[in-house]
Chains A and B, each alone.
Chain A
């Protein structure tokens, strides 16, 4: 397969109902190069122009952007533009028994990804949900794929059913959610059986219905799960019950959403609240 080059624009806009004096922001919007994604470049452009903006590679290997806007403003736009070359091919499903991987993890550095994280405490309900996918001796690739298929089958995708603050209990009780919730459930389920798992934030190229032009701004950020197989990391997408292949672009990896939100911030104002907020994402395949 020849590599695909994507151009991605990710624009977040906030409108406020009064002047904001200062905004501080933290963004995880710049992709990094990694296996399956040999080139990744990008920039974050903030409007109004920030007094200060700085990138660094954080503890999880992600590119993290700090900015501070000091001009009074009623609108804030954070635009991330990136170019990523992807040659990712879904690997054959690893066939080591999952319980062997689990036992080995007791002494491996990846053990940190087995631990509960800020948004994903250990919950008995999650452990109960996970158990059927992990009978003794089952190959780990098959177990992960089965878990993702079950999540896809058991929960309804409903945009707006949950928010960034939703918990796994909300998802398990309500039965519907978005990719972030499904990825969280998969991560927590893997951890509940003693496996190491990461939350992946990124993008998925979408195709318009046959014969229709692709709509601008209609793409979205996406999230999925990454599981330690004993020899490497296996990414899987419970939202679409699909292997993670060349139409996926990785932005950041963390313990859960709270390590890698695309954007978060703190503003200072007498009384302003966010009156409207919009996210537009375009994932375009470069032709030629």
Chain B
């Protein structure tokens, strides 16, 4: 930011002024704004091995780069992407660079990322690199390439997410600064994807293949899918038939022409690559080889994530492109070359030692090793020299970064991105800045300011992408369960709130009726949630009720339902509006606040958050097949919850005032108490039976909490989906139509209502069958692939 004499560089004047003006408190609030915005957007990252996604870490202070300088750098990035594409085309085709001795064979055939199955004996060269990530750093001698990400590079989407947040956290400065836009890069991606389709395909169908919501960068994969308007699929959503690739969708099979892949190559096809992969598509290598589908980047591209190439790239660039390599790498020696090996072994303590492939070992700075470790490393290098490289460490330029109440200058690198559009390479005017602080990697937004972007050829963003990508049975399944879990969370929160209030009455004034009603209510809670008896003593019950709110691990609790609501939402992130995360974030923070504010406030807050969620579902989502499945899940769940509660609470409810209290609690928990009072003002006083309660909750066609109302809505939702309505629908409707609420409300000699019990048991069975049939009709169970390999049939 500052020149050698301490003065602020003109480029950084805006940021410097920002740091001066609001003072330390202002900095803190910038950080808080950033964190809140990231949480609101649900920007997440899951470190390898972590159970849960974590908040993505972003520094509010951008890295500012000069436009004129960037324009030159961007040309170098584009050149490197082109070189990677041409080099791969040669390595998987005629392999002339190996035959001409421009590149040692060990560096390629000895790299685990070189896939012989990807070799192409005949046919036109295919596009090998569509999206390249190139990690840059500025050393004392200018910009250098620190790393190549050419397999399935992540980060461009995060750069966009970071820009959205920083542009709001630093809204004033962002508006005043002439910052180049990121959007044209994503538009270029949209034009480039169809252009990469196999020849002769007019309206290519494109998917983004990813490992699933547990992936490290699942957030970004969903973001890209929505930015590009292409479906996010997993291996189990795809199938190979008749020499081509298909996506399984609710209506059947849709052809796929282009796969933008975020799954590492080895996992893409259990038939021809790793046989133990459950994430891939058997036959994908075959159809890519035949050429009916384009897989981007090419399955063999990992071989170029290879620091050993650095010494050879200048000559390869001249040979393949006829030009000089624009951005150098730090001086690197490949140990497969005897002179290089001797140099590296002699200077082990001064160099950064990196294997040619990432999964062999982490790069280490020789200076950080003990003598014994250095010896061990030297032995590894001597045993398999072709796997190792040594390079001169680079002293990276620094960028101001917020740390507590101050700023610190930290070494910074930038991951730049180039994408093959239909008119050539388009480089993202920005990138993913990265610094490392005590807590790990922190991202920075990268602002290119000053000189405006060079004019681009006119691009018409194609409208060839279907408005709504087909819905896969797996996504349908997740949406259905999203509806179910969210409704379950609401029902559980309302029930716990109603019972909690009664429990509070017991503590404050333990009068007769509420004491008599309490065991029935607690038993109902245990039965409806399926969590087992709450215990007898006051302390046990209080602890049990609290656990029903907070214990995330136990099925049946509120926290469990909320957790699974969020998980299923994460699995279908690309289907949901970004506001959804505001509402879901509220649920999480409500539960996290139980310790501080008590569970009663948390329950109110959860109900409010769910109401917000339903508002977004009602107003923010188009009525496509996915929406109807979400609605269907919610309706079935609500019907089941009501049936379970009525059965658990009213079959064996006590007589008299206590019984009325139980019935009223059921009405409160089902949000129907006001309607009931308005319709039957004299009921409570007159001590009439529960017929009116049963009518309102079971057979009423106007109360949205009633089973009959939900079944009618469910029939409408299912009618909008392909396939025949499930048989259990008719059975449930018929059962409901024949219910006689007066007969059901009468008690037998032992004081219980056996007819009600039987009728509700039948209804519960019909609803469970209905749920199963919806699942069987619409969500094909993805079977896991099993490898088979003959026993040694050899002599």
List chain A positions with a Cβ less than 8 A from chain B.
Answer: 12, 14, 21, 23-26, 51-52, 54, 56-60, 66, 68, 70, 107, 109, 111-112, 115-116, 122, 124, 162-164, 166, 178-180, 204, 206, 219-223, 239, 259, 261-270, 272-274, 277, 279, 281
Contact = CB atoms under 8 A, between A and B. Distances in A.
B119 A267 contact: no
A263 B289 contact: no
B295 to A, nearest CB: 16
A164 B271 contact: no
A124 B384 CA distance: 11
A51 B242 CA distance: 7
A109 B98 contact: yes
A112 B109 contact: yes
Nearest to A60: B116
B101 interface: yes
B786 A267 contact: yes
A162 B792 contact: yes
B116 A204 contact: no
A204 B795 contact: yes
B242 A52 contact: yes
Nearest to B109: A112
Contact of B271 (A59, A111, A179, A265): A265
Contacts of A219: 795
Nearest to B781: A270
B727 interface: no
A223 B116 CA distance: 21
Contacts of B790: 12, 164, 261-264, 277, 279
Interface in B268-321: 270-272, 275, 282-283, 286, 289-290
Contacts of A274: 788
Contacts of B748: none
Q: Which residue, A24, A164, A270, has most C-beta atoms of chain B within 10 A?
A: A24
Contact of B105 (A60, A111, A273, A277): A111
9 contacts: A24-B283, A51-B242, A56-B289, A68-B283, A112-B109, A163-B791, A179-B795, A274-B788, A279-B790
Interface of B: 98-99, 101, 105-106, 109-110, 116-117, 119, 121, 240-243, 270-272, 275, 282-283, 286, 289-290, 383-384, 386, 781, 783-795
Given A26-B271, A268-B783, A109 B99 contact: yes
A116 B790 CA distance: 24
A279 B241 contact: no
B794 A267 contact: no
B241 A59 contact: no
Q: Which residue, B117, B784, B793, has most C-beta atoms of chain A within 10 A?
A: B793
Contacts of B241: 51-52, 68, 70
Contacts of A261: 789-790
Given A56-B289, A266-B787, 13 more contacts: A52-B242, A59-B121, A107-B101, A111-B106, A163-B792, A178-B792, A220-B793, A262-B793, A266-B786, A267-B785, A267-B786, A268-B785, A281-B793
A178 B790 CA distance: 15
Contacts of B781: 270
A107 B102 CA distance: 11
A97 to B, nearest CB: 21
A54 B290 contact: yes
B118 to A, nearest CB: 8
A268 to B, nearest CB: 4
Nearest to A239: B795
Contacts of A204: 795
Contacts of A124: 383
A116 B105 CA distance: 12
Nearest to B787: A266
Contacts of B282: 24, 266
Contacts of B384: 116, 122
Nearest to B121: A57
A134 to B, nearest CB: 18
B119 A58 contact: yes
Contact of A221 (B99, B242, B787, B795): B795
Nearest to A115: B110
Contact of B795 (A112, A222, A273): A222
B754 to A, nearest CB: 40
A270 B783 contact: yes
Nearest to A21: B783
A115 B106 contact: yes
Nearest to A220: B795
Q: Which residue, B99, B105, B119, B781, has most C-beta atoms of chain A within 10 A?
A: B105
A277 B109 contact: no
Contacts of A112: 105, 109
Q: Which residue, A25, A239, A259, A265, has most C-beta atoms of chain B within 10 A?
A: A265
A263 B787 CA distance: 11
Contact of A220 (B116, B242, B788, B794): B794
Contacts of B791: 163-164, 277, 279
A178 B783 contact: no
A279 to B, nearest CB: 4
A227 B783 CA distance: 44
B794 A221 contact: yes
Contact of B283 (A14, A57, A66, A107): A66
B121 to A, nearest CB: 6
A130 to B, nearest CB: 15
B286 A109 contact: no
B788 A14 contact: yes
A193 B790 CA distance: 32
Nearest to B289: A56
Contacts of B119: 58-59
Q: Which residue, A56, A115, A180, has most C-beta atoms of chain B within 10 A?
A: A115
Contacts of B289: 56
A232 to B, nearest CB: 19
Contact of B793 (A116, A221, A265): A221
B270 A266 contact: yes
A235 B121 CA distance: 26
B274 to A, nearest CB: 10
A54 B290 CA distance: 10
A206 B795 CA distance: 10
Nearest to B384: A122
Nearest to A66: B286
Contacts of B98: 109
Contacts of B106: 111, 115
B101 A164 contact: no
Contacts of A270: 781, 783
B323 to A, nearest CB: 27
B266 to A, nearest CB: 11
Contacts of A259: 116
Nearest to A110: B105
Contacts of A60: 116
* Closest CB pairs A-B (n = 10): A59-B119, A279-B793, A220-B795, A24-B282, A112-B109, A59-B116, A266-B282, A268-B783, A111-B105, A115-B110
Nearest to A164: B792
Given A24-B271, A56-B289, A267 B788 contact: yes
A51 B240 CA distance: 11
Contacts of A262: 790, 793
Given A21-B783, A264-B788, A267-B785, A12 B793 contact: yes
Nearest to A263: B790
A274 B790 CA distance: 10
A58 B285 CA distance: 12
Contacts of A56: 121, 289
A264 B121 contact: no
B790 to A, nearest CB: 5
A65 to B, nearest CB: 11
Q: Which residue, B121, B781, B791, has most C-beta atoms of chain A within 10 A?
A: B791
Given A259-B116, A264-B789, A116 B283 contact: no
A267 B270 CA distance: 10
Contacts of A206: 795
Nearest to A23: B788
B419 to A, nearest CB: 29
Contacts of B785: 266-268
